[in-house]
Each structure stands twice: as structure tokens, then as C-alpha cells.
Structure 1
Amino acid sequence: MDEQNPPNPATPINPEGTPPEPTPQPTPAPTPTPQPEPVQQPQQEQKPPEQPAVSQSQPAKPKHSTLMAVLAYVLFFIPLLTDAKNDPFVKFHVKQGLVLFIACLATGIIVRMPVIGWILIAPLNIFLLILWIIGVLNALGGKQKPLPVIGQYGEKFDF
């Protein structure tokens, strides 16, 4: 070693006697450039499905009238005992209920006949049940639609 330059104990020396090359310092990772925040698209408000408008030709019926119209298919005379008898909507369904009641009485007589009654009991009762369901659904829907086959006879009653 050189006597002019005594080795610095803090500086390590290679086996060749030369000071080591300085170790490269790790370069700090480049800081990422801030990305602009994604612009949120304004979300459209979802509207609830629109209710179908009640047609002008059929105004909505009050609940009392609808209840009395449905009751006319169970016991046709009950609405006649109330003040609902003056409502044309209720009166229409009372007449339809009366015709259905008469059809049930006629069916009761027919099915008591031997053989022919036994054959017709199921189809006639199913037919009357379907008419009853149609009448109740018409009343609930606010419709004044006569029952199929027998509904036309209801218009002949006047009360």
C-alpha cells in the first residue's frame, strides 16, 4: 500500500488494493403521475313503471260500489237492501247475479232427472262456476259486461 495515502478504515479495500467502485444507489421509483379521476356519468333516475291510465270511458268505481257488485254474485238480493240499489253499476251486476241464480236453480232441477241429470251434472256445474268467476272478475274490473250465454236475459229485469 501507499504510505502517502494511508487507508481510511471507513473505506473498504478490494483484494486488489483499490477502493471499490461506488455501489449505485437505487434510484427511487418514479412517482406515478396522478391519473385524472374518472368522470362519473350522471345516472339517469329510474322511473317506476307508469300505471296505465284509467280510460275515460270507464271511470274508476268507488270501493263500496265494487264490493256491492261482487256481493251481487254471491247473494244477489243483498245490494237491493242497501242504498247501492240506486247505482247503475251495482244494479247491472245485481241483474246478472239474478240471472245466474235462476240458471243455478234450473240446473238443480235438471240434474235431479235420472240418467240425463247424471250425465249433465258435472258440465253444467263447471259452466256455472266459470260464469260466476267471469261475473266477479267483471265486477272487480269495473266492467258492465253481460255474462256469456245467459247475461242477455238480465237486461229484461226492471227494478
Structure 2
Amino acid sequence: MEMPVNQQQPDPADVEKNKGMAILAYIIFFIPLLAAKESKFAMYHANQGLVLFLAAMVANVVGAIIPLIGWFVIMPLANLAIVIFAVLGIINAAQGVMKPLPLIGNITLIS
């Protein structure tokens, strides 16, 4: 089976050691930044968690600024998408893969 171009192959030992940190990155993105700095796998998922957090902040600020449509359309849909992306990220981390999230996964803020 051929691996997609944008999916990296993690080190199996790194995955086993830092799978919990990678999962935690989608809930509290900065914990792996402090506790697993040396792990390429955990840092990849910390980056995905940070990008997801920033996307949620932008979507909610934009939704809050626009009356009615923002409150009742933009914010609920954006928050639903954020929850879905977080669940996808947690599943990817639990499976030990470094697969980017849809739409925002190719943004790199943490190297």
C-alpha cells in the first residue's frame, strides 16, 4: 500500500513512547511542547493541535463580530468542524500515524 505524499512515517519507538502526548495535543496543545520536546511524533500532533486551536479562535472571533448570522450559523458550524477535526486528530494519534488534518493540516507553526 502506497503512503500519501503528505503523510510522514513516524518512528515506531517514538510512537509507543509518546502516543499519549500526541492524543493530549488535540485537547491541550502546549503540554506536549513542554513534556515531549524531543519527540517528532508528539511535536507533529502538537503543531496540528495548535493550528486547530488558532482556527477555532479565528472562527469564533469572526462569528462573534457578525451579528445573527455569525452567532447562529458561522459559530455553530465552525465549532462542529473543530470538534470533528479534533476527533480525527485524536484517532490519527491513537493509530500512530502522522496524517494531516483536512483543510488546515499542512500549516506548520512548530518545527
TM-score normalised by L of structure 2: 0.81
Structure having greater relative contact order (Cα 8 Å, sep ≥ 6): 2
**Structure 1 residue ranges without an equivalent (≥5):** 1-56
Shift of 1:140: 0.3
What amino acid does structure 2 have at the position aligned with 1:96?
Answer: Q
For the residues of structure 2 that align with 1:80 and 1:158, how far apart are their CA atoms? 9
Give the match for residue 75 of structure 1. 28
Stretch moving more, 137-146 or 107-116: 107-116
CA RMSD in angstroms, aligned pairs only: 1.6
**Structure 2 residue ranges without an equivalent (≥5):** 1-8
Shift of 1:126: 1.0
Q: 2:41 pairs with 83, 89, 110, which one?
A: 89
For the residues of structure 2 that align with 1:116 and 1:152, how far apart are their CA atoms? 29
What amino acid does structure 2 have at the position aligned with 1:110?
Answer: V
For the residues of structure 1 that align with 2:85 and 2:96, how far apart are their CA atoms? 16
1:8-43 CA distance string (max 9 Å, x none): xxxxxxxxxxxxxxxxxxxxxxxxxxxxxxxxxxxx
| Residue 98 (structure 2) pairs with residue 144 (structure 1) | yes
Runs of 4+ deviating beyond 6 Å: none
Alignment of 1:4-83 (within 5 A): 59=12, 61-62=15-16, 64-82=17-35
Give the match for residue 73 of structure 2. 119
Shift of 1:115: 2.4
| Residue 58 (structure 2) pairs with residue 106 (structure 1) | yes
What amino acid does structure 1 have at the position aligned with 2:81?
Answer: F
Q: How many residues align?
A: 99
The alignment partner of 1:151 has SS state of: coil
Q: Are the counterparts in 1 of residues 60 and 78 from structure 2 also a CA contact under 8 Å?
A: no
TM-score normalised by L of structure 1: 0.58
Shift of 1:79: 1.1
1:58-111 CA distance string (max 9 Å, x none): 63621x4000001111111111111x1111000100000000000110121022
For the residues of structure 1 that align with 2:110 and 2:46, how far apart are their CA atoms? 11
The percent identity for this pair of structures is 39
